[in-house]
A = this chain, B = another copy of it.
Amino acid sequence: MKSFGHPIPYNPQVSRTFNVQTTTGPARRGQLATPHGTIETPVFMPVGTLATVKGIPQDLLEEIGPEIILSNTYHLFLRPGVETVRKLGGLHGFMAWPRAILTDSGGFQVFSLSDLRKVKEEGVTFRSHLDGSSHFLSPESSMAAQIGLGADIIMAFDECTEHPADARRTRESMELTLRWAARCKKYFEEHKREVPWKAGGAAASSQSPEKSATGDWQLKADSRWPTADSRQLLFGIIQGGMNLALRKESAERTIEIGFPGYAIGGLSVGEPRDLTREVVEATLQHLPVDKPRYLMGVGTPEEIVEYAAMGIDMMDCVLPTRAARHGLLFTSEGRISIKQARYAQDEAPLDPKCPCRVCQRYSRAYLRHLYAANEVLAQVLNTVHNLSFYLDTMRTVRQSISLGDTPRFPHTAER
């Protein structure tokens, strides 16, 4: 779609929580209100699987700047268990993170990590990847878990259709996801008042600061705290495999159930990137413009710009954090594999255009040394940089849309 070089005023179909400010072609610049702060969209959400963005202390993470992070229900369900997190005031209190959090439903990881899973109408029986112990997750128990974890945005329990899958299998899987979505919504509506930070938030003011698990000493760095009437947002997930007709049907029937936001699931499961793009573009056409659209599990720095340009509002991916742990660093000059001997005496900063703490202080030679010596600081510093790069990229995207420009990857082509 063509951009006309100035912001196209958007007819704001304001939902309770989401507001599209400006559009440039299909790209949208918006705000999503959550109980723990308002998120500027398009947004990239760093992954903090086990209630920690691996290696990064929360104060440093606040400085890097994400307004929302993602945690994984499957992992937290197994360790430390939902009840422990709930007792500590939900994820916010537990990990002392005052900003917004999104949890996935556990569905995707049951399918990708656990052994011997059995999918029935009722739910999924699976064995833990940690110790082989047997567990059960259903729409209801996933909702109960996500209410107990207390993230700001929670996801319907879906079946992620494998790729490739034939038309019949894809339809059956989609139908199951739709039935589960309705059960998720029903359970959520009946239990949404049980979120721990609602109780914690209310209780906090009547308790002494020292005794409040979710209150003063843990969260004094930030006063974002939900009001008594604030609620989690439950998002629906569109499935339908690579079949565009089924994607359309899945979108329409999920919207019929009705959610404050919609995710596109079942992509990045091994299909070629062109196909991903095609499915995303086709699915987006069937999603309401006044609700946030979340593309799960993408992508590279170039891809997150591209999807934002297509009209996606939210994305998450392990790539910046996982790549950092493997010494793969994203820079304005392309990707750098810091383990290479060519950097052993390179006194330049990792990315001369990057304002992050790592690029401001350390040389490539030092980062290469830390990685080669298997030092933990390598993971810490590499993660700081990669997350800074992703968040800076998204900041540029938002600026472009605000200025009426089509979002473009702001750096030179990948090496």
Within 8 A of B (CB), among A70-119: 79-80, 84, 87-89, 93-96
**Looking at the complex, which one of B59, B95, B360, B366 makes contact with A51 (CB distance below 8 Å)?**
B366
**Looking at the complex, which one of B52, B366, B372 makes contact with A88 (CB distance below 8 Å)?**
B366
Q: How many interface residues does A have (CB within 8 Å)?
A: 47
A164 contacts the other chain (Cβ, under 8 Å)? no
The closest CB in chain B to the CB of A56 belongs to B377
Interface string of A352-392 (1 = CB under 8 A from B): 00000100111101100110110111011100100000000
On whether the beta carbons of B95 and A366 are closer than 8 Å, the reply is yes
A218 contacts the other chain (Cβ, under 8 Å)? yes
In the complex with contacts A59-B357, A347-B213, A361-B58, A373-B79 CB distance below 8 A? yes
A10 contacts the other chain (Cβ, under 8 Å)? no
Which residues of chain B are within 8 angstroms of A57 by Cβ–Cβ distance? 60, 357, 377, 380-381, 384
Interface CB pairs A-B, < 8 A, 22: A51-B369, A52-B377, A54-B376, A55-B55, A55-B376, A55-B377, A56-B377, A57-B357, A57-B381, A57-B384, A58-B362, A59-B357, A60-B60, A79-B372, A80-B365, A84-B345, A87-B345, A88-B366, A94-B363, A95-B366, A218-B362, A220-B360
Known pairs A56-B377, A57-B357. 10 more at Cβ < 8 A? A50-B375, A51-B366, A52-B377, A79-B372, A80-B365, A84-B369, A94-B363, A94-B365, A218-B362, A376-B380
